[in-house]
Amino acid sequence: EAQVTQNPRYLITVTGKKLTVTCSQNMNHEYMSWYRQDPGLGLRQIYYSMNVEVTDKGDVPEGYKVSRKEKRNFPLILESPSPNQTSLYFCASSLLASYNSPLHFGNGTRLTVT
């Protein structure tokens, strides 16, 4: 089944404890992206990748890191999480590295930082 898989679905952590949220897609998509969703703010892009080894900042990149060493994987790293990073996170991918290409979203990761 074609899908974007994120793990974990839920995560509770403490301030400053490094964490990684994994994202994997099995559709051979070029483009991958991370979004955070907060009430009243919609979906805001954190980082995106147009292909392997090519990543770029989105609108809210502060406090996050990403890597794209393989086409299928695009992990999101929080080196030192803070409470303002408590949010619902979505990984998404699309076939082409173009805004014309529809996004396929993962099921989301709800992160709580205390």
Within a 13 Å sphere around the CA of 87, how many CA atoms are in the beta-carbon half? 23
Peptide bond into 8 cis (omega under 30): yes
How far apart are CB 1 and another protein at their closest, in Å?
15
Contacting residues toward another protein, per CB under 8 A: 33, 35, 40-45, 48, 50, 58, 90, 92, 97-100, 102-108
How far apart are CB 59 and another protein at their closest, in Å?
8
Give the residue with the Cβ less far from another protein, 56 or 79.
56
Helix (H/G/I), strand (E/B), else coil: 83: helix
How far apart are CB 56 and another protein at their closest, in Å?
8
54-57 vs 109-113, strand pairing mode:
unpaired
